[in-house]
């Protein structure tokens, strides 16, 4: 008997098996080794009682997979991708905050947000290229447009968002130049950049929400159990996390006299993130277990504490500079823990075959399809 390839999802729920193999046993061997004719009822504790061999009590089967191997291959991503999820969120949230600050006449807040946007975007590209191995692989993704691929769509979202964020940053730098430079030989260029700053910042802000949300779609569109089962709530978690982190950065770098919108933004983002996380864990069922265990569990617990503490600080801190800085740092750390916690939970769920097969069997028991079928083939 040959082993299945690593990248192949094995649909164990529909595999035709002999009746005596209906329940796997510990160690990956079918219950055939227990001997033929081992059928019988169950006692009061749910244990199988064998007839004809004496009253030997067989414990309930403990699930394991074929040779104890994982059913779904874990994503081959390193922690660069988890960091990419965080910095992408900071970039998107900062772009929206900068656009709002520009429209409401808060230049200090706008400056910090624009620097945060371009800084987060630059780090995102750096982490992505490092994970891909070389820059040419990133450029290769721009050779095609594939609407059914979250990776392809995300690449083009970044391509659309990035130039406008960069132009808004350049305008901000131009406004910071000394007056002699602004009026010297570079005056026409500086003037042009200053005039383009506001429209570029607005376009950057309008294209930012897809940047904040598409990474959640990217994870949910995989076969990784904990990521895929969170597909309905994960975009809201990531968007709330992006708002909280970018507002936290603005609270750290902006004078409190202009940081009022950032504090409101921080409270709103933290509330959305915490509520969406709670709803996500309730709807995930068994697949929420990795979010509470091991490294992922510690990160998610830290995320909730830091995000809640940062939101309270933003709400009651008022114009206290020290409280603003500490609260902003807590919000950023909470968002970082959320991204790494979700990442670690997904990897852990892929390594444990239980999270692939048990839900599949539950769907089969409910009469639901266990694998995707095109609409024109459903019901056949």
Domain for residue 145, yes or no? yes
Q: Is residue 349 part of a domain?
A: yes
Of residues 353 and 280, the one with the higher pLDDT is 280
- Which residues, other chains included, contact 86 with Cβ-Cβ below 8 Å and sequence gap of 6+? 245, 335, 336, 339, 340
Is-contact 326 344, C-beta < 8 A?
no
Of the listed ranges 269-278, 311-320, 361-370, the one predicted with least confidence:
361-370
Q: pLDDT tens-digit profile of 225-242?
A: 999 999 999 999 999 999
Q: Which residue has the higher pLDDT, 61 or 87?
A: 87
- The CATH number of whichever domain residue 286 belongs to comes to 1.20.1630.10
pLDDT at residue 222 tops 70:
yes
CB < 8 Å & 24+ apart, contacts of 263-266: 263/314, 263/315, 263/317, 263/324, 265/93, 265/97, 266/310, 266/311, 266/314, 266/327, 266/328, 266/331
Model's pTM, two decimal places? 0.78
28 in a domain, yes or no?
no
Q: Is the pLDDT of residue 9 over 60?
A: no
Residue 7 counted as domain residue: no
Domain membership of residue 298 (yes or no) is: yes
CA-to-CA distance for 140 and 155, rounded, in angstroms? 10
Structural domain of residue 300, as residue ranges? 79-359
39 lies in a domain? no
The answer to whether residue 374 sits within a structural domain is no
Residue 183 lies in a domain: yes
CB contact at 8 A, 248 and 328:
yes
Higher pLDDT, 367 or 45: 367
Quote the number of domains for the chain.
1
């Amino acid at each position: 008997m040959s082993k299945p390839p690593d990248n192949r999802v094995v649909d164990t729920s529909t595999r035709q098996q002999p009746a005596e193999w209906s329940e796997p046993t510990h160690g990956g061997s079918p219950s055939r080794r227990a001997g033929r004719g081992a059928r019988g009822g169950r006692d009061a504790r749910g244990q199988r009682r064998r007839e004809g061999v004496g009253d030997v009590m067989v414990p309930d089967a403990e699930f394991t997979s074929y040779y104890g191997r994982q059913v779904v291959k874990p994503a081959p991503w390193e922690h660069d991708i988890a960091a990419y999820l965080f910095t992408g969120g900071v970039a998107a949230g900062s772009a929206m905050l900068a656009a709002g600050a520009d429209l409401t006449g808060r230049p200090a807040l706008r400056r910090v947000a624009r620097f945060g946007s371009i800084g987060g975007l630059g780090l995102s590209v750096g982490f992505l290229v490092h994970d891909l191995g070389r820059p040419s692989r990133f450029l290769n993704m721009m050779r095609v447009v594939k609407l059914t691929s979250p990776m392809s769509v995300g690449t083009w979202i970044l391509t659309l968002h990035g130039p406008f964020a960069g132009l808004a940053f350049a305008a901000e730098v131009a406004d910071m130049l000394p007056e002699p430079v602004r009026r010297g030989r570079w005056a026409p260029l500086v003037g042009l950049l200053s005039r383009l700053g506001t429209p570029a910042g607005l376009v950057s802000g309008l294209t930012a929400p897809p940047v904040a949300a598409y990474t959640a779609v990217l994870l949910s569109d995989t076969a990784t159990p904990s990521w895929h089962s969170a597909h309905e709530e994960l975009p809201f978690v990531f968007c709330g996390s992006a708002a909280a982190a970018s507002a936290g950065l603005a609270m750290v770098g902006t004078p409190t006299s202009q940081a009022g919108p950032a504090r409101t933004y921080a409270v709103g983002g933290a509330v959305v993130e915490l509520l969406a996380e709670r709803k996500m864990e309730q709807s995930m069922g068994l697949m929420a277990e990795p979010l509470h265990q091991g490294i992922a569990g510690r990160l998610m617990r830290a995320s909730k504490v830091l995000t809640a503490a940062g939101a309270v600080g933003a709400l009651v801190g008022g114009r206290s500079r020290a409280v603003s800085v500490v609260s902003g740092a807590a919000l950023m750390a909470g968002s970082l823990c959320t991204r790494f916690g979700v990442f670690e939970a997904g990897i852990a769920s892929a390594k444990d075959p239980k999270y692939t097969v048990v839900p599949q069997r539950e769907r089969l028991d409910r009469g639901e399809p266990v694998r995707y079928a095109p609409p024109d083939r459903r019901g056949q």
